Every structure is written in structure tokens, then in C-alpha cells.
Structure 1
Amino acid sequence: MSGAFGRAFALGVEEELLVVDPATRALRHTAADVLAGMRVPAGAGSAHPDTFAALVELASPVAATPEDGVRAIAALRARALAVPGTGLIGAGVHPDGAFGDVVHVDEPRYHEIHAQLRGLLRRTPTSALHVHVGMPDAETAVHVGNGLREWLPLLQALAGNSPFWHGVDSGLATARAQLFRGYPRGDIPPAFSSFDHFEETVAAVVAAGDAPDYTFLWWDIRPHPRLGTVEVRAMDAQSSLRTVHGLVALVAGLARAAAEAPVPARGWSPREALEESSFRAARDGVHATLLHDGALRPVAEIAADALALAGTDPALEEITRLLHDGAGADRQRTAFARGGMNAVLELLAAETADLNPYV
């Protein structure tokens, strides 16, 4: 497996946004038209299709800081929104999307995914926020991946932004996470003892699943040798760029801390325990209690531990605000209580279009 390691702690931000009708906020399967209408200058990042035709993926260029990455994403949002007839919302799933209102992108990769997943891919589009952190070498990538793996439930709780599915309250903070758990390889990987161990595991899973390559392993976190990064994939897409900035800053800070930290004396957490905490995080969001340091502890306490490690980036203040005021799932439910589903959709559309102070 070839690797491109060497750009230590450079960042890449990828967000998947849902394409909607600008008037009704209903899903529109017109991502190809949006992408065709965008003009992205060289060096400004990129915009791509993904599995669903009602979704655009925006990717920053390699960035030195979280702010640089989020400013690039904001500029890409602006270019997409400038395409006539385009609305966008950032959420893990469309709150009111009908079951089966799905069109798949007509490209070989997505035909392969559809052939593998069949009805699982016909429910409703799912959208995530991914953060890449550059690694100096392969072994550091494995060590940092193991360290960040411990924080996946916290990140999922903070990013919960899909409480509604198919027009009703799911009872979860992130319905997307549980929809995604239905996919093969859509879970938390084991801790790896070395890069060789990672490669051996990937080879076995690819063979068992008859998958084309390791990018079909949709784990919540994975080393990405082709890009030379560790990729964190556990978080819902966000409407608020301020929240995107806070989450990217937290991942970046925790990655730097993980690179310097030894293997815990107790060893890395068992996959089964992390999966249980992941479900609790997906269910209860910032109000969850999760296993941390041997006991169930509130998300606010775990976040305080994370923030103590993550450095002094001012964007981390957003994490404190989320804990105090509520995350995306809480804002959506507040909007629903105020004005029903229309208020939820208007909230998401307005927040997604609010590019200040980044543009």
C-alpha cells in the first residue's frame, strides 16, 4: 500500500452538504448541476459528487491551520450557493426526506457501492464532516489513530446534528450514525499494533468483502496512506461554520496530543466498549454519559479533559458553547418546538448560508 506521509499535522476538511430546493427545502437530486456551475480556482480546494445525487462534497486544500481549512470550505459554500436555483443544508440527514427518495450518482465507484449495499443505500442520503490530519510517517499515523479512536464517542456527541428522519423525531442526536452503522465496515476499527497490522487487517477485510481497496472500509477513523493522513469520519455534517471550526480545531489539537502520548497503561479501549459509548453518544448527544477513564462520565467532563489536551486555539471556545447552549440536534429540536418542520429546515438553510466571519 503506497503512502504519502510526510506533511505532519497539515489539515484537510471535507464536508458533505445536502442539495435542496431553495424555496421548499426539499431534497433535489441536482448535485451534478451545482458542480457544473461552480468555478473553483486552482489551489482553492475542490467540489465533488458522492454516492447520492442530492449531495455535494466540498474539500479544502491542504491547510496549515483549522481556520485556513474552514475559510476554504466557506468559500466553496459561497460558490455552490451562487449557482442559480441552489439551496444547501448541513445536517447528518435531511430531516424530512422521504424514505426511498434517493438517486445515485452514475459513476463506477458508486455503482459498485450500490451493488454491495442494495436497499441499505436506498433509504435516505447521509452526510458527514471528515477531518484529515497529516502524519509524518506510517507508524505515527497508527499511533495517532489509536489515540484519536479513544475520543470518537465524544466527537460524535458534540457533532450530533440529525435528530429527525423521514419527518419524525428519531429520539437520537444523530440518526445518520445509526443509518451508517447498517453498512458493512461502517463501524469503529480495532486498535492497531503497527502499520503492518493495519495493512494485514485491511487486506483480510478487502478480501472477505470483495472490495476494490481500503477506501471501501468506511470506519469512523482510518489511516489514509494515499493522502498521508489519519481521517476522522465519525461526525455529522454541520450547518454552522463556527461549529465546523470548533470541531476541526478539537481534532487537530487531540491529534497533536496523541502523537506525544504513550500507549495508556490500561491499553487501548476494546472496540466493543467504544461501540457502546458510540451508541450512547449518538442517542443522547451532548447530554450523554460515556465510558471514560473506567467510569461513565458526562460529556461535559470528558470534553473538559479533551480541551485540556487540545491546546489554545480560540476556535475551541465553540466546544464550550456547544456544551452550554446545545449542539445541532438541540437547535433543531428547539426550532421544531417553535414552528414545526418548516422551522427546522429554515434554520438549517439559514445557518448553512451564513458564511460570516469566514467570507
Structure 2
Amino acid sequence: MTTNRPSTAPSARAVDAPTLLTLGVEEEFLLLDPATGESLPVADRVLTALHGRAREQSRQEFRHSMVEMVTPVCTDLTDLREHLVALRRAAADAARAAGARLVAVGATPVHESHRTVPDEPRYHAMSRRFGPVAHDPAVCGCHVHVGLPDRGLAVQVCNHLRPWLPVVQALTANSPLHDGADTGHASWRSMQLERWPSIGPTPYFASVADYDATVAELVDAGIMLDPAMVYWYARPSATYPTVEIRVGDVCPGVDDTVLVAALVRNLVATMVDNVRAGVPAPRLRSCLIAAAHWRAAHEGLDGRLIDLRAGGTRPAWDLVEELLHLVTPALARHGDLSYVLEQLARLRREGTGAARQRRIIARTAGDLGAVLDHLAAETIAG
């Protein structure tokens, strides 16, 4: 696939230093058998084979068939893209040495027979607490961190983000397959994760004290082991001075990831402006937000999404255009506008990861091997 590199990087003239928000990305990947497409439990071998910066920026995940790669903090989309390409290629080389291939796909597409958790006390505790839910087939996400060290502001920003996160979710849909068949959902990962009690839309919080008290109650009730198990779609990170958006499937290609990261950064920047201007966050019913996320996971960008501000459903791309209009001033401020316009045009032509997979299935009369070949190649394309 032809890729477009970021054409406009932030500069001192385009962005005032105080308004330049940093960002970083965590990407989770599956390790699949090149012949069968089944998940392979070789993560330990893959992590051991990584060296230098790639090893430092890798993480063990909840399945033996997964690895996570984490970019450093970036201010520039070009730098972010270069880090993503380098990390994906390093992980792919290590996977190849372990007899697997690295694939950026949101959910286990064929089968996973080895579902025990890695030998870590925390993972064993999660297994004991949540039982079979903790042993579902592997799922892989894309988490975008935007620098925001003020936790009180971060909580308010999360309130403002809630109407827009289903649109971000639809943009990233990349997991239509399960057990070798099309599920009818663009993001099966999203459906699978609904079984966890601490995953889902971020609740509305009046303050950081309200947030902390609620999390403490959930921990006390056994819904979470600890505050690090806050897996809501947007949260003040438990580890970094950031707002973390964790609603999306891992994206198939690097440019898909950079596009989502750019939109998320500038959506956060826009909501920071709104908070500081005293604009109140909309008080939306939790059932409607949950419905909007379900619809986004089912449709991706190929159908209609729920408009949480005006009510009813609208074509998905209409809401993408509204999101773009909303964040355009922040995109211009960060120097990201040209790249985002290029990549949204490409995404409209090519479709989401789910749409691309389905197109190959239709073209090859259901050849899953062709789908996985394409995904593996797209994962490391630069």
C-alpha cells in the first residue's frame, strides 16, 4: 500500500510552546502461526530476541501470544511515525526468529488454544478474580497518551471527550473475524472486552476527588484489583502524566495509527480549551453512550453512528467530518492539519481495517490466509 509521510511538522512559528501537547502510543500485536493463522504462545521468545531501544520499549502482555510496543514521548508526527515503523519492524523480526509473524489485528482471528496467563502475580490474581473472562482469546488495542499533567484538568477533559470517542472507535475498527468467520461486527475486540467489569465508557466526574473516591469504591467492591485496572475508554493515566485514550483496536498500518493519534491529540487540545473557557461538558445518559459505542463497534465507518449531541443516527462519515471541523483550529496550531487531511482522504478511499479485511475475503472467496498475509505485510509497511 502506498503510504504518505507526515508532510507538516510542528514548528516554533506554527505552535506556541505552552500549547504544544506531547503524545505517545502503545500498540499491542498478535503473534500468529504463518501457516494456520492460529495464535502462538511465543511472546517470551520474541521479547528476549529484541535488543536495545526496541527491548526497552516493549512490554509483556496478558497473553503469551501478544507483545506491546511503546513509543517514546513525541511532539512531532514525523517522529512518532518513525518510532512506530522502527518498533513494528523490530518486533516483526523478533517474531520471525521465533517462528511467528507479527500482525496488527484487533482480535484473535482464527483460534487460540494456549490461554493461560503469563507467570506474574498480578496476572494470576486477575485470573482468579475474573475466571473465564480472563481467558478469552487475545485482543489488541491502540492506546494514545496525550501529555496533561494536571489530573483535575484531565478528569474534566475526559468528561468533554465522551460524545466523540465512539467516532474514534469507529475509525479504528480492525477486528471483524473470530474463529475464522466474520462476526458481523467491525470490532469484535470491543464486543469481547465488554465482559470485563471495569472496561467501557468513562463515567462523568465532578472533580478529581470524585474520580478518586469512585475508583476507591470500585476497588473496595472487588470490581478492580487496584486503580491501575481503570480501563475506561478515557482516563487520567495511572502511570504517566497524560490523558490516555484506549478505545481503539490496534490499527493495521502505521499511517492509520498516526492519523488516530493526531486526531486524539487535537481533540484533547480542543477540550482543554473548552474546559479553560468554562464550557460545560454535556451530561449524557450512560445507556446512550454505551449504545453509541456498540454501534461504532458494529458499523465501523461503513454505516450509521449515533449522534450523542443531536440524537438519532447519521452516516459515520458525517460525524467524522464534524470531528474534523471541531479540531481543525488545534490541528493547525500543532502543525498536523495537512497530514490529517491527507490521511482522512486515504481512509475514505481504502476503508477501515475491518473494511479492508472484508474486501479481501470477498475477492478471494473467503481465503483467510490471504487476509492474514495482507495484514502481516501492512503491519510493517513504512
With the length of structure 2 as denominator, give the TM-score of the two structures: 0.86
Tell me how far apart the structure 1 counterparts of residues 318 and 217 of structure 2 sit (CA, whole Å): 38
Secondary structure of the residue that 1:281 maps to in structure 2? helix
Report % sequence identity: 32
Deviation at 1:187, TM superposition (A): 1.0
Deviation at 1:270, TM superposition (A): 2.3
What residue in structure 2 maps to residue 94 of structure 1? Answer: 108
Contact 1:157 1:282 (8 Å CA) reproduced: yes
1:258-337 to structure 2, matched below 5 A, reads 258-262=271-275, 267-286=282-301, 287-295=303-311, 296-310=313-327, 311-312=331-332, 313=336, 314-316=338-340, 317-337=342-362
Deviation at 1:109, TM superposition (A): 1.6
CA RMSD of aligned residues (A): 2.1
Tell me how far apart the structure 2 counterparts of residues 68 and 271 of structure 1 sit (CA, whole Å): 37
Cα distance 1:289–1:212, how it changes in 2: closer, same or farther (>3 A)?
A: closer
Secondary structure of the residue that 1:58 maps to in structure 2? strand
Contact 1:96 1:167 (8 Å CA) reproduced: yes
Contact 2:158 2:202 (8 Å CA) reproduced: no
Letter aligned with residue 118 of structure 1? G
What residue in structure 2 maps to residue 131 of structure 1? Answer: 144
Contact 1:45 1:72 (8 Å CA) reproduced: no
Deviation at 1:236, TM superposition (A): 0.3
What residue in structure 1 maps to residue 14 of structure 2? Answer: none
Secondary structure of the residue that 2:52 maps to in structure 1? coil
What residue in structure 2 maps to residue 344 of structure 1? Answer: 371
Tell me how far apart the structure 2 counterparts of residues 192 and 324 of structure 1 sit (CA, whole Å): 39
Secondary structure of the residue that 2:357 maps to in structure 1? helix
Deviation at 1:223, TM superposition (A): 0.9
Number of corresponding residues: 348
What residue in structure 2 maps to residue 3 of structure 1? Answer: none
Contact 2:228 2:238 (8 Å CA) reproduced: no
With the length of structure 1 as denominator, give the TM-score of the two structures: 0.91
Letter aligned with residue 326 of structure 1? G
Letter aligned with residue 27 of structure 1? S
Runs of 4+ in 1 over 3 A off after TM superposition: 22-25, 262-266
Given the alignment, which residue of 4, 15, 37 partners 1:25? 37
Letter aligned with residue 109 of structure 2? P
Deviation at 1:321, TM superposition (A): 2.7
Cα distance 1:225–1:51, how it changes in 2: closer, same or farther (>3 A)?
A: closer
What residue in structure 2 maps to residue 148 of structure 1? Answer: 161
Tell me how far apart the structure 2 counterparts of residues 114 and 189 of structure 1 sit (CA, whole Å): 24
Deviation at 1:79, TM superposition (A): 1.3
**Structure 1: gaps (5+ residues):** 1-5
Cα distance 1:266–1:199, how it changes in 2: closer, same or farther (>3 A)?
A: closer
Secondary structure of the residue that 1:212 maps to in structure 2? coil
Deviation at 1:212, TM superposition (A): 3.5
Cα distance 1:103–1:266, how it changes in 2: closer, same or farther (>3 A)?
A: closer
Tell me, yes or no, if structure 1 residue 57 matches structure 2 residue 98.
no
Cα distance 1:270–1:79, how it changes in 2: closer, same or farther (>3 A)?
A: same
Deviation at 1:24, TM superposition (A): 4.0
Tell me how far apart the structure 2 counterparts of residues 187 and 205 of structure 1 sit (CA, whole Å): 14
**Structure 2: gaps (5+ residues):** 1-17
Tell me, yes or no, if structure 1 residue 66 matches structure 2 residue 77.
yes
Deviation at 1:18, TM superposition (A): 0.3
